[in-house]
Structure 1
Amino acid sequence: MSVHCLHHHQRQNTAHNIFLEFHKHQPQSLRKIKEENEREGPHPSSNVPMDFEMFQHVMKTGVIYATSRARGRGFDPEDPDWANMGQGAPETGPLPGAPPRDFSMSIEDSLIEYAPVTGLEELRIKVAEYYNHLYRQGKDSKYTFENVCIVPGGRAGLTRCMAAMGNTQVGYFTPDYTAYQQSLGLFVRITPSPLLHKDANEAIMPSEDFKFQALGRGLGAMLWSNPANPTGQSLEGDELDAYVKIARELNLALIADEFYSHYYYDGDAVDPQDGGADDDSNWPKTVSSAAFVEDVDIDPVIIINGLTKNWRCPGFRVCWIVAPKPIVDMLGSAGSFLDGGANAPLQKLALPLMNLDFIRRDTWALQRTFKKKRDFLLAELARIGITVKWHPTATFYVWADIGALPSPLNDCLVFLEECVKYKVICVPGVFFDINPRNIRHVKQNKCINFVR
């Protein structure tokens, strides 16, 4: 092996070892101190931190890992010299052309009490009206507040769903949202089951393949993001309808994470700033499984959404689950021991954000702003020779293929280590290859040549 190749190999090993060490319960430095203390005998006092072996190791998500590596290089979120392309949340300030948001409030005494574990009824009504107006017009079956469960964040919603599951197989795709790994691996009643694409070049699994795998694996539930994080691809129209029909036919709980359902860039409606109507007749493109549900209390379709992404209020920790009434009851029971419910004052503050005219105008501004960001990033990546196999039609992510870069830069963990040296943050693709039971080594990860 040449000296040049050896250097590349060492850089790759270093990046992989940093990743593996970060996810160990007991870091190597702590193990060395412990071994030295055991050799030297007991000390009357010691500043050695406890390893707390009685606790189970909990892995970090990709954003946390990337940020920690950047902090080691002096990252400060207020420093304009840093380009943080690893963040998992949108900018929260005013957008050009967006309606104003008033976040001032006086907290009533009643709001200091616990909120109902399924949320304030006023907000649940607003959420139901939103889905009925956008996706249920002309349908006999409509959502009511009893179909809505307010939760303290999207991950809390995922956790409630998983906690309420019985002994069942839960399917998932890869790549997908990094937090699914912990949600799917947390409860012993759940058996995670990855659905494999026949064609490695397809971003979305065709409905006939989904049905074949759901039947063959005996799935009781399916967890997925739509539009997809990290690829920015969307299942919609006839194919989304087919997925919902399969769920209905197989009595399979379709758990749809729709947190990016306002971030679409390929709609046919004309932006009011370009001459389109600025009223309720002209909505920007959004997508939801709710449009294809026949009976809201029978079809096993569970939708998770909230203020975090589409409303750009991640700090509120106010989100919701829309589902058949019996499932909402079970989710309420799960919440009573898991999280106790969402913040009452912020649920109240969320009410104006759920007014339909506000949502329409805000979504137009959001799509206008983030489409420019997407187009800029795609053009710059193409200019420097980084491939994007699937141009995102939705979300605010780009799933970049670095496989053609010279080794070892084509390894996402090495790529991150080099990026932070130049004050750039991205999320390594390995975090999106969902691996709930940790059965694959990092070198077997199929997303090793991708970054988000």
Structure 2
Amino acid sequence: MHPWIADRTTTFDASGIRKVFDLAAKLKDPINLSIGQPDFEVPESVQDAAIDAIRGGKNAYSPTQGIGPLRSALQQEIDSRYGHDDREVFVCSGTSGGLMLSMLSMINPGDEVIYLDPFFVMYPALLKMCGGVAVPIDSYPSFQLDPDAIAAAVTPKTKMILLNSPANPTGVTATAEQLEAVARLAAEKNIALISDEIYSRFHYDDAFVSPAQFNPDTIVIDGFSKSHAMTGWRVGYVHGPGEVIATMLKIQQYSFVCSPQPAQWGALRAMEVNLQGHIDDYLNKRDLICDGLADRFEFTRPGGAFYLFPKAPGDAGGEAFVHKAIERGLLIIPGKIFSARDSHFRISFAASDETIAKGVALLNQLADEA
């Protein structure tokens, strides 16, 4: 290792998802069910708002906390939903930026953070950067949030519980009862509760529920990347208790500085866009892929997001199955990237119906060969 490289960087590897993306770039016309971003374009009105901002000279730094009109619109929406006396919002550089600011603001070396396994790939890496201790809770085979398992994992060193519903990589959604139980546990034990809600608008079978409805100190992280196909625009937002938000802003000043200003004006317009047509399309895609694979694969039907996390057929494991799929031109993600186990794989159904149909046919063929 080069002598200049910091020790903390050796505690985690580069994202395995990026490695698959790099491989995808080398394949000719693959069946791509790997990418975790919407397959529709940014709404035209949002594009126009950003272009108008650029041409209107709104290209400088914004205030660290975000442009006033966007913050005001977000605050009004949040106040209307929760009515909490102490709940403030700021604009961050994507939900990834919000997660990093949350960890840096609250995690001391040795603090324990509880989350479910499987998990979003960023969680353990961010914790290690901060010196935190990951406490993953095995949620196989159903991937449901188990409040009793969370409670059993709490120790005097527990600083944070990190929830993600709808979840990446499983698409599984927690019930209102499960979320309420964990929210009340966090309040009772004075544990920070982070709710990663980036997929909140992709909720298919029932209404979305946030743990902030049951615990007013919940820190919520959300954004426009997945809902409005704005993954490259880097506009997220965080809301929670004022003192915690102020600390995150202090760190943002010395790191990300602000979210790109033209993108924030686009996000302001995005708040006016009706997404129901896209949500209906993704519900149909969910049903298309689940119905197509149900006879040969074991999985929990996702209630949200745009992911399916099936068990690999046969005994070779998830990574070996993914390698076979990639050799046949199908791009999917090994489950071990999101988990301590190597038994599953992730499919993204954020793709055309035609691509999904081709992927289903090849996956079923590979299952018959396993």
* Same topology, TM > 0.5: yes
- For the residue of structure 2 that corresponds to 1:220, the secondary structure is strand
Q: How is 1:91-240 mapped onto 2 (pairs within 5 angstroms)?
A: 91-93=39-41, 101-104=45-48, 105-106=51-52, 107=54, 111-133=58-80, 135-136=81-82, 139=83, 141=84, 147-167=88-108, 168-188=111-131, 190-196=132-138, 200-214=140-154, 216=155, 218-240=157-179
CA distance in 2, matches of 1:378, 1:170: 33
> Which one of the candidate residues 64, 67, 70 is aligned to 2:21?
67
Q: For residue 161 of structure 1, what is the amino acid of its counterpart? A: S
CA distance in 2, matches of 1:192, 1:392: 25
Contact 2:309 2:344 in 1 (8 A): no
2:198 aligned with 1:291, yes or no?
A: no
Structure 1 residue 394: Cα displacement: 0.9
Q: For residue 19 of structure 2, what is the amino acid of its counterpart? A: Y
Query: How far does the alpha carbon of each residue in 1:4-56 deviate from its partner, in whole angstroms, 9 at most, with x for none?
Result: xxxxxxxxxxxxxxxxxxxxx7xxxxxxxxxxxxxxxxxxxxxxxxxx44224
Q: 1:128 to 1:290 in 2, by over 3 A?
A: farther
User: In the alignment, what sits opposite 2:361?
Assistant: none
Which of these two proteins has the greater Rg computed from alpha carbons?
1
Q: 1:447 to 1:217 in 2, by over 3 A?
A: farther
- For the residue of structure 2 that corresponds to 1:322, the secondary structure is strand
Q: How is 1:15-414 mapped onto 2 (pairs within 5 angstroms)?
A: 52-55=2-5, 56-57=9-10, 59-71=13-25, 74-75=26-27, 81-93=29-41, 101-104=45-48, 105-106=51-52, 107=54, 111-133=58-80, 135-136=81-82, 139=83, 141=84, 147-167=88-108, 168-188=111-131, 190-196=132-138, 200-214=140-154, 216=155, 218-267=157-206, 285-294=207-216, 299=217, 301-355=218-272, 358=273, 361-362=274-275, 364-383=276-295, 385-388=296-299, 390-402=300-312, 404-405=313-314, 407-408=315-316, 411-414=317-320
CA distance in 2, matches of 1:348, 1:287: 28
Q: For residue 376 of structure 1, what is the amino acid of its counterpart? A: L
Q: For residue 318 of structure 2, what is the amino acid of its counterpart? A: C
Q: 1:247 to 1:201 in 2, by over 3 A?
A: same
Q: TM-score, normalised by structure 2?
A: 0.84
Q: TM-score, normalised by structure 1?
A: 0.69
2:326 aligned with 1:420, yes or no?
A: yes
CA distance in 2, matches of 1:86, 1:158: 23
- 5+ unaligned residues in a row in structure 2: which ranges? 348-370
Query: How far does the alpha carbon of each residue in 1:314-349 deviate from its partner, in whole angstroms, 9 at most, with x for none?
Result: 121100111111111000011122211110111112
Query: RMSD of the TM alignment (CA)?
Result: 2.3
Contact 1:175 1:447 in 2 (8 A): no
- 5+ unaligned residues in a row in structure 1: which ranges? 1-24, 26-51, 268-284, 434-444
Contact 2:166 2:197 in 1 (8 A): yes
Contact 2:101 2:252 in 1 (8 A): yes
Structure whose residues are more often strand by fraction: 2
Contact 2:169 2:338 in 1 (8 A): yes
